[in-house]
């Protein structure tokens, strides 16, 4: 079952400048930074607030590492802006199977590693009214501690 909006992914050309905008404009601070070679991005996670289920809502700022990465291609077509919305769930595998069973294309056969040790998959935007949708299961608190903000 989907339990919350986990994060909104925002594609940008300059991660540091975009982080500074969200810090100076809204007061959001970077909680975590990482490079995800598999996804081809450099990212920063800015915590917006906590949620009833103990999770949090985040802004995920994404700068492509290369032009041929999915975010790099998206930026070339659309420019900076909202790239995807992610919904949190306790079981990304079960949720992906359930959504697949309803006729929605799931982009990965098996979930992949996402930010802060999470497990993720994406749903095809053509099946989700034009919105690239991510389903994410956050890492257990002990696993997430292995990742730090920079």
Q: Specify whether 147 is catalytic.
A: no
The answer to whether residues 138 and 6 touch, using CB atoms and an 8 Å cutoff, is yes
The answer to whether residues 77 and 25 touch, using CB atoms and an 8 Å cutoff, is no
Catalytic residue among 7, 34, 63, 83, which? 7
Catalytic residue among 32, 39, 60, 95, which? 60
Catalytic residue among 32, 43, 63, 83, which? 43
Catalytic residue among 32, 63, 84, 95, which? 84
CA distances from 75 to 107, 109, 110 (A): 19, 25, 26
Q: Specify whether 7 is catalytic.
A: yes
Q: Specify whether 124 is catalytic.
A: no
Catalytic residue among 34, 39, 63, 134, which? 134
Which residues lie below 8 Å from residue 9, measured CB to CB, with a gap of 6+? 60, 62, 82, 83, 84, 85, 86, 134
Q: Specify whether 83 is catalytic.
A: no
Residues known to be catalytic: 7, 43, 60, 84, 134
């Amino acid at each position: 079952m989907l339990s919350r909006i986990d994060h909104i992914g925002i594609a940008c050309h300059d991660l540091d400048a975009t982080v500074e905008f969200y810090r100076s404009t809204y007061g959001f601070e970077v909680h975590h930074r990482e490079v995800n070679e598999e996804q081809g991005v450099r990212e920063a996670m800015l915590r917006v607030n906590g949620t009833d289920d103990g999770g949090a809502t985040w802004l995920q700022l994404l700068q492509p590492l290369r032009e041929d990465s999915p975010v790099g291609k998206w930026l070339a077509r659309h420019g900076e802006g909202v790239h995807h919305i992610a919904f949190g769930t306790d079981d990304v595998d079960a949720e992906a199977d359930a959504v697949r069973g309803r006729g929605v294309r799931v982009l990965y056969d098996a979930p992949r590693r996402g930010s802060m040790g999470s497990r993720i998959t994406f749903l095809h935007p053509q099946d989700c009214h034009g919105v690239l949708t991510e389903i994410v299961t956050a890492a257990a608190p002990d696993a997430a501690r292995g990742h730090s903000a920079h």
